[in-house]
Chain A
Amino acid sequence: MNLILIPIFLPLATAAAVLLISERTKYLKEILSSAAALVTLLAAADIFLQLPDVQQLSLPWIGSGLGFTLRADTLSAFLLLAVSLFSAAISIYSFSMPDKGSSKWFFFNLLMTQAFAAGAALADSLLVMLFFWEGLLVFLYTFIVLSQDSPGARRTAKKAFLINGVTDLCLLVGITITGYIAGTMNMSEIARNKLTLDYGWSVFAYVLLLIGAVSKAGAMPFHTWIPDAATDSSSPFMAYIPAAIDKLLGIYFLARASVYLYQLNGAMSIVLMTLGAFTILAAVMMAFVQKDYKRLLSYHAVSQTGYMILGIGTLNPIGIAGGLFHMINHATYKSCLFMTAGSVERRTGTNDLSKLGGLFRLMPLTGIFFLIAAAAISGIAPFNGFFSKELVYRGALDSGHPLFFWAAELGSFLTLASFLKLGHSVYFGKLPENLKNTKEAPFSMLLPMAALAAICVLFGFGAHLPLERFIGPALDSIGVRHGALAGFEAGKLYFLSVIVILAAVINHMLGLAAGGGKASKASDHIHYAPVLKEAYAMAENRVFDIYELGMDKVVPVVAKAMFSVDRFFDWVIDTAPSSTAGFFSEASERFHNGSYPLYLALTLAGALVYILLAALNGGLK
């Protein structure tokens, strides 16, 4: 069997096997899933290590030149490795996690998501990728809806499904047009002769691909289900899908579409960078004022996507490298952060910042991992987030539009400020009475956190390692020529980041002073500032949520219109024929009354007409 099939079919087979195992068995499903995830990880590592010997597979599929083609070039192999890594980490993390819903269905969804994500990463044909991509949508829905038995979970699952369903539809149309323009569905063939945005159809197709990709990554304005899922589903789900898998796939395909398939122009670059900068700022503003651990993290998950889109949108090698590097870094620390949230929730039973505090002494390891990941997301040297953000900044500066650079810096400032607030209110400050007996998280939860935190450190101190081993070759494989990517220099950018750190700390002090010393209120001076207060109130009321707007304003009108159209068709195919038939059959019923004279008269009249006709038409000549 081809090595490339293992990451897809092993999880699929295991998922099927998990369903057969009784819900009452303890740890059997967990062991099976973790083992499958680890074997897949090994296979993925093997695929990566065999590079530059590219693994590929091509099977006949739906005919007419549309084959089932998989191809593990460096970017795909790298992505596959990341997907497998996070799958393994989450499998182990969820080993003893109690509030993940039915463990049978949890692992089924996890493994199915893994298999389909691996398929999407490896697909070379756009159609095959679409197949796996759409498959993910199904398991996104089942994952959320089965994680909790609550109306909220069902509502959020529907919301996630509809938002992603609509954008996946855009992707489908985009892929169809792209394939039609290019004359082939295979990405490697399209890349040999990149499409340009010179005419309307290709711009349209690219924009549709862009919508599909950024919505998967969770950029604004397609992000609104993520904060809802933070409260309505489990921490492992959050750590796995919105934090890791969705970002990986969305940014992966964004890079593929923007660099590999299409040759973008300056205008589209501005569009991408604007989208990125807007996402950074708007989401981080929302994140800053959140009072819930997971909800705060989920807004950051949206905000950080902005950096990746901004990085890729610069279209210069440094920026793209920064975007891809930030993608893997973000998945690492955000997954780790959601895991810490899960640990805290498991041990204390709450995620509400105002009810937490001083946990560092009781949960020192979780606290340390939190600090590392928080430092990484805030871009503090020398953790991994610092280096990837640095690349994005440099890319933004090089693009010749310094405005985006300043937006990104402002985003960093708010990110750090909100993590100061979060860390302070959860791990430091006063320990509430009822949390005195809190214990450290179990080993199975600490291990994946430790591994991810270690990666944060490793990719920070040794940033040249991932840049040279992963990001550089990945850029080569999608045809981006680049110079040296690594290298720390204590230049202007570094000092600027120090200033940002200081500003954030000062802001935190101010907030504390204004909030009466309570860390959970350290954002209130901005939250309730004159103009922002109204804006936040509107945001809390979901005024900016296109899904809710659509559901409230557009859907009822459209539904009413469709209802009347439907009634019309009902009438055409139902009422009209049946009343016509009814009319005639009633008439015939009235006629067939058994009266012999009537019947005889009809027979004779009919016979007479017949004879006349027969006689006139050539009968008696």
Chain B
Amino acid sequence: MDKGLLAYLLIPLLSAVLIPFAARARRRLADVIANVTLLAGLANLAWLVLRPSMISGGFADIPGDGLTLLLVGAVYLVGFCVTFFSAWFMEDGTPNRQAYYSLILVSVAAMTGVVSATDFFTLYVFIEVLAVTSFALITTDDSGRGVEGALKYFFLTFPASALIILGISILMLTLGSLSFDNLRIFMASGVPSSGPVTFGAALMLLGFLIKSGVAPFHTWTPDAYQGAYAPVSAHLAGIVTKISGVYALIRMAALLHFFDGRALALSDLLMFLGMLSIAVGAVAALRQKDFKRMLAFSSVSQVGYIVLAAGLGTPLAIMGAIFHLFNHATFKTVLFLNSASLEKSAGTTDMEKLGGMEHAMPWTSWTSVVALLSTAGVPPLSGFWSKLLIILALWQAGLKTYAVLALLFSIVTLAYFMVMQRKVFFGKKSRAAEASAEVSAPLLAPAVLMSALIVALGLLFPYFYTYVRMVAERILI
């Protein structure tokens, strides 16, 4: 465990315990406690990273390996956006507020635990905690679809847990230790009989692939995201599945030394699955009729980019993967929160029934445009830079086919999002658009904040690049 960031794990856990007691009489207190906890954490993190002295020093004094801190930041950011949004989104009575916020905070604590773990067993424990909170969160509003999504999530990802624990045991037997450092040193030493260790790692990787929703293990994502309670979808798609699966993939890619040609077969496999995921997600998203379901497939596709880059494992690719992970958290949160706003205002996310919503909901429409352009990698938004890094890394490594395909599918990304924007927001005013109005300012605030962040990260890319390069250097030593 990285002790420096322990407070970010414990405080939300404490708040989660506190909420059911403190907010028993006054239910709104649950909102306040959750929001204050996360906002305080966010402010603290911002002070830690964004001090002028820190920026001018090239982020050299960041504690730990930097990746942890960045992802704790992302966790808190998305968590705060979701709780803030939920505070105004939830109607009185349903669902159970105290439980909801407690679960969110526990999941934030668990994610902090995941990213600050330094050995595989701790990682595994926190990932399981996270999975349990996620099942519960998906069913927040007790609807049939929520339960179906939660069940699918549970039953389709339980093999993952089994595979991870199997992999951990093999690793324990062969390596004698579960700490990241031991694996790193083992891989760096180039011992010839690395077979069993690699196989153990391969099993763990498979578990994380399933948890990330990479094709062909993606089948749970559309149902889980679509069925989940609206703000929970944003939480789940924006950060939870990324931390419980994709983060571990990047971490292991670095530990397994893909960049010096170790475990080549695994690296190839990972890249192939990444590309497959990009293709399957994008192609499936093209014909979706439901906004949330389209976003779910888009997530599959975007996760594919991260896995592709992680599988390549060169420093540039790792930078691209980390950056894309962070960007994905920003733009996917915006889009899912906007889908929640649509659901609240127009009562549906079915794209056939929507249309011309920009007249009724201009802010929602335009934040969606920013987010979708960033997803598709249009300059100067942040998504452009991360995709550029990934494609450049692929090209440099001589994988021109993958580079060209990655570029091609980002055009498909633009295509399906344009279809979405056209069907939902632009065009003639539908009956739904006439009946609905823009949601209130507090509901818009998270989306606007995230959109601003997308633009700012795109424009201030040099600073962010310095940070990400520092991270890549530290975790690839």
Contact = CB atoms under 8 A, between A and B. Distances in A.
Contacts of B415: 581
B265 A618 contact: yes
A592 B265 contact: no
A618 B283 contact: no
Given A599-B152, A617-B265, A585 B283 contact: yes
B196 A620 contact: yes
Contact of B199 (A581, A589, A607, A614): A614
B412 interface: yes
Given A607-B206, A607-B210, A600 B265 contact: no
Interface in A566-595: 581-582, 584-586, 588-589, 592, 594
Given A582-B287, A605-B216, 4 more contacts: A586-B287, A606-B217, A610-B273, A615-B202
A592 B219 contact: yes
Given A585-B284, A599-B220, A615-B199, A610 B159 contact: no
A603 B219 contact: yes
A621 interface: yes
B269 interface: yes
Contact of A592 (B151, B194, B222, B269): B222
Interface in A271-285: none
Interface of B: 151-152, 155-156, 159, 163, 193-196, 198-199, 202-203, 206, 209-210, 216-217, 219-220, 222-223, 263-266, 269, 273, 280, 283-288, 412, 415
The winner among B163, B198, B415 for most chain A CB atoms within 10 A is: B198
Contacts of A605: 216
Nearest to A602: B216
A289 B105 CA distance: 98
A562 interface: no
A581 B198 contact: no
A615 B202 CA distance: 9
A614 B267 CA distance: 10
A592 B284 contact: yes
A585 B287 contact: yes
- Chain A interface residue count: which class? 20 to 34
Q: Report, nearest first, the 10 A-B pairs whose CB atoms are least far apart.
A: A617-B265, A614-B202, A599-B219, A621-B195, A619-B199, A588-B284, A606-B216, A585-B286, A585-B287, A584-B283
Contacts of B219: 592, 598-599, 602-603
B196 to A, nearest CB: 7
Given A592-B219, A602-B219, A607 B159 contact: yes
Nearest to B197: A619
A603 B217 CA distance: 5
Contacts of A607: 159, 163, 206, 210, 217
Contacts of B210: 603, 607
10 contacts: A581-B283, A585-B284, A588-B283, A592-B219, A594-B223, A596-B151, A599-B219, A603-B159, A610-B202, A611-B203
A594 B226 CA distance: 12
Contacts of A611: 202-203, 206
A613 interface: yes
Contact of B198 (A596, A604, A619): A619
Contacts of A614: 198-199, 202-203, 206, 265-266, 269
Nearest to B269: A613
Contacts of A603: 156, 159, 210, 216-217, 219
A599 to B, nearest CB: 4
Nearest to A604: B159
A581 B411 CA distance: 12
The winner among A592, A600, A615 for most chain B CB atoms within 10 A is: A592
Given A592-B222, A600-B156, A610 B269 contact: yes
A463 to B, nearest CB: 69
B432 to A, nearest CB: 24
Contacts of B199: 614-615, 619-620
Contacts of B159: 603-604, 607
Contacts of A592: 219, 222, 284
A594 B290 CA distance: 14
A619 B195 contact: yes
Contact of A589 (B163, B206, B216, B287): B287
B6 to A, nearest CB: 35
A617 to B, nearest CB: 3
B280 A588 contact: yes
Contacts of B216: 602-603, 605-606
Nearest to B201: A614
Contacts of A598: 219
A589 B193 CA distance: 45
Contacts of A586: 287
A536 B32 CA distance: 96
B265 A613 contact: yes
A596 B217 contact: no
A600 B287 CA distance: 23
Contacts of B412: 581
The winner among A581, A589, A617, A619 for most chain B CB atoms within 10 A is: A619
B149 to A, nearest CB: 10
Contacts of B198: 614, 618-619
A402 B269 CA distance: 89
A599 B273 CA distance: 17
The winner among B199, B223, B264 for most chain A CB atoms within 10 A is: B199
Interface in A503-554: none
A251 B348 CA distance: 74
A584 B263 CA distance: 33
